[in-house]
């Protein structure tokens, strides 16, 4: 967990502490077990922080294990990105990366043991018949006609399944539990199916693959996991988890504990829906900065420390964990406030000509990169006859309380002189193309005599500023729960204003910034040099990570 803040107590932490205090466990072992079938998202970040954080806090260990039992949907690309995400968030797994496929031979052996105990059988019902026999929430299931096959026949058929004698889908191995159980997961669940699919690790060595519920508990036990933490949808699967481990010869029985998954407002976190957004080109890819993926958040400029603090702040419980996006943005904003150097940029430029600028006489000043961090250093803020200011900082007909530039009015340039607007130049269509201003030469670093100037605006010397592509990101969806209504296509809630690209100007001080360098652009927000397209010294591309204030709450209020 984030070292900057004390851990927050929650029910899982209480269980861990009680188990250590009673001597039930000498140390804890957790695991993070993603399937390599997509990129990780903010919900996985919560789980990563929980599993790795507990291991860190109690001097235990946490394994990274890929659940690679579904070969058609899995890829090396996803597996590599997941490892990168875990490291980027600030965690390191114990030992080598583990894979469920490492245990395929052992899993097969335990399945044979269940057959020999009369607790598993080969079933030839079609998938449709299996569903029909399973019953419903209100009606018990019926026994398969193959349920009473003898041990020798089941063992022989299972070996022939493995040897590839039968076509895909023609037979499965089922656990023999209770077709009348009120828990549908215990109605003779399938534990192996025939599937000729090339596997990213084992190639074509297997044509039968174990099911997740069967694989997961045994993998946990083989690794000596003490606390197997998963989200609430697996609560009804826990009796099956325990049944498998109780009925095989394995010397370890981890405790499965469920907690509520994270639902982030103004986002979707279904892998299927995220994949749809990517495939339909609604976003530029898994790492589009509007996506709630860890790669997307990283590219946008979010910090690992901010995300870890978010996970700490939202907590762990069994009750619904629906969190507004502003909580995540607040954590990022607070973290960047302390660590991001401050520079000036102009994103909607209006040209200002300083009529009384005198080369060699009109001076520049040094400015620090952060008011609370002198160790960040400083740079010169040069001035020239032509400067850029933000279009929003000038108004011909200002609203009440306006403290920026108006015709005939004065304003201070940040780190520089007080200027007065003397003339507004427009084109034939009435658009402002230039402001002609004069500076007060006696106001560099001091207040003007005999009058007060309240407003301070940011600006750049046109001669020294560098052009930059600036990407202004907003929420991807316009409603808090875009996929809440199953009858409505969530695409219709996509925010058409979620990305605005502008050509602006930045201080020369950022010329050589490496990709992923973060800055506060004063008065505009926190920005990050794009990790894909920003080229130091050549093509400057900055993504807005988050605004300076929570403007969204204000607009919605």
Q: Is the pLDDT reported for residue 533 higher than 80? A: yes
Cα distance between residue 110 and residue 336, in whole Å? 51
pLDDT band at 549 (very low <50, low <70, confident <90, very high): confident
- CATH 2.40.240.10 domain range(s) in the chain: 348-464
**Element spanning 504, H or E:** strand 499-506
Identify the pLDDT of residue 445.
86
Which residues are CB-contacts of 18 (< 8 A; sequence separation ≥ 6)? none
Q: Tell me: the pLDDT tens digits for 142-189? A: 999 999 999 999 999 999 999 999 999 999 999 999 999 999 999 999
CA gap 312, 335 in Å, rounded: 14
Q: Average pLDDT in the 284-291 region?
A: 97
Where are the CATH 3.90.800.10 domain residues in the chain?
103-211
Least confident of 2-6, 268-272, 448-452: 2-6
Q: Is residue 46 annotated as a catalytic residue, yes or no? A: no
Radius of gyration of the chain measured on its C-alpha atoms: 31
Q: Which helix (H) or strand (E) holds 238?
A: helix 238-246
Average pLDDT of every residue of the chain: 95
Q: Which of 35, 329, 410, 522 is catalytic?
A: 35
- Indicate if 35 belongs to the active site: yes
DSSP 8-state assignment for residue 240: H
pLDDT of residue 552: 52
**Domain 103-211 indexed as CATH 2.30.30.30:** no
- Which has the closest alpha carbon to 237: 266, 214, 221, 209? 214
| H or E stretch at 46 | helix 42-57
In the residue annotation, 117 being an active-site residue is answered as no
Query: pLDDT for 465-510, tens place per residue?
Result: 999 999 999 999 999 999 998 899 999 999 999 999 999 999 999 9
Q: What is the pLDDT of residue 557?
A: 38
Residue 450 has pLDDT above 60, yes or no: yes
| pLDDT exceeds 80 at position 268 | yes
Q: From the candidates 142, 155, 261, 414, give the one annotated as an active-site residue.
A: 261
218-248 confidence digits (pLDDT tens)? 999 999 999 999 999 999 999 999 999 999 9
pLDDT of residue 320: 87
Q: Which residue in the list 134, 171, 271, 308 is annotated as catalytic?
A: 271
The alpha carbon torsion through 220, 224, 227, 231 (nearest 10 deg) reads: -10
Class assignment of domain 348-464?
mainly beta
Whether the predicted pLDDT of 27 surpasses 90? yes
User: Given this model, what pLDDT does residue 4 score?
Assistant: 57
| Sequence-ordered strand ranges (E) for 314-430 | 321-323, 342-343, 345-346, 349-354, 365-368, 378-381, 386-390, 410-413, 418-426
Exposure on the CB side of residue 379, measured as CA atoms within 13 A: 16
Average pLDDT over residues 313-341: 95
In the predicted model, is pLDDT for residue 108 greater than 90?
yes
Give the pLDDT confidence of 41-76 residue by residue, as tens digits: 999 999 999 999 999 999 999 999 999 999 999 999
């Amino acid at each position: 967990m984030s070292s900057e803040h004390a851990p927050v107590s929650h029910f899982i932490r209480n269980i861990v502490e009680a188990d250590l205090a009673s001597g039930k466990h000498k140390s804890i072992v957790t695991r993070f077990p993603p399937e390599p079938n997509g990129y990780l998202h903010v919900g996985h970040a919560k789980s990563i922080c929980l599993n790795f954080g507990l291991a860190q806090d109690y001097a235990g260990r946490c394994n990274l294990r890929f659940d690679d039992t579904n070969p058609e949907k899995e890829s090396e690309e996803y597996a590599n990105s997941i490892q990168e995400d875990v490291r980027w968030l600030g965690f390191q797994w114990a030992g080598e990366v583990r894979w469920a496929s490492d245990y395929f031979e052992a899993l097969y052996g335990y399945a044979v043991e269940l057959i020999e105990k009369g607790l598993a059988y080969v079933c030839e019902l079609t998938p449709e018949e299996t569903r029909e026999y399973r019953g419903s929430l209100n009606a018990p299931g019926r026994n398969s006609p193959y349920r009473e096959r003898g041990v020798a026949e089941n063992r022989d058929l299972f070996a022939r399944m493995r040897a590839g004698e039968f076509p895909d889908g023609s037979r499965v191995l089922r656990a023999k539990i209770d077709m009348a159980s009120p828990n549908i997961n215990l109605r003779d669940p399938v534990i192996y199916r025939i599937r000729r699919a090339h596997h990213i690790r084992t190639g074509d060595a297997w044509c039968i693959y174990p099911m997740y519920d069967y694989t997961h508990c045994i993998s946990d036990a083989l690794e000596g996991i003490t606390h197997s933490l998963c989200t609430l949808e697996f609560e009804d699967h826990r009796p099956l988890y325990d049944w498998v481990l109780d009925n095989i010869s394995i010397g370890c029985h981890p405790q499965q504990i469920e907690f509520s998954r994270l639902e982030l407002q103004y986002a979707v976190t279904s892998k299927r829906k995220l994949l749809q957004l990517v495939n339909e080109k609604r976003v530029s890819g898994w790492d589009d900065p509007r996506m709630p993926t860890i790669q997307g958040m990283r590219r946008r400029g979010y910090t690992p420390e901010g995300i870890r603090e978010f996970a700490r702040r939202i907590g762990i419980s069994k009750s619904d964990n629906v969190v507004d996006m502003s909580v995540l943005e607040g954590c990022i904003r607070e973290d960047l406030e302390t660590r991001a150097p401050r520079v000036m940029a102009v994103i909607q430029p209006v040209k200002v000509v300083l009529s009384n600028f005198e080369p060699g006489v009109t001076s520049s000043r040094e400015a620090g990169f952060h008011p609370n961090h002198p160790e960040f250093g400083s740079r010169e803020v040069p001035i020239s006859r032509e400067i850029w200011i933000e279009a929003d900082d000038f108004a011909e007909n200002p609203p009440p309380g306006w403290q920026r530039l108006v015709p005939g009015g004065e304003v201070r340039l940040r780190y520089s002189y007080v200027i007065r607007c003397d003339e507004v130049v427009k084109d034939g269509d009435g658009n402002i193309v230039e402001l002609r201003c004069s500076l007060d030469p006696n106001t560099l670093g001091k207040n003007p005599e005999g009058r007060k100037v309240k407003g301070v605006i940011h600006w750049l010397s046109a001669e020294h500023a560098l052009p930059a592509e600036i990407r202004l990101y907003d929420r991807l969806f316009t409603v808090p729960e875009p996929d809440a209504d199953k009858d409505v296509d969530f695409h219709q809630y996509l925010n058409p204003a979620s990305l605005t690209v502008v050509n602006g100007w930045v201080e020369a001080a950022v010329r050589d910034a490496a990709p992923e360098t973060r800055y506060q652009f004063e008065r505009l927000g926190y920005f990050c040099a794009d990790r894909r397209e920003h080229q130091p010294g050549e093509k400057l591309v900055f993504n807005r990570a988050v605004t300076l204030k929570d403007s969204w709450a204000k607009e919605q209020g």
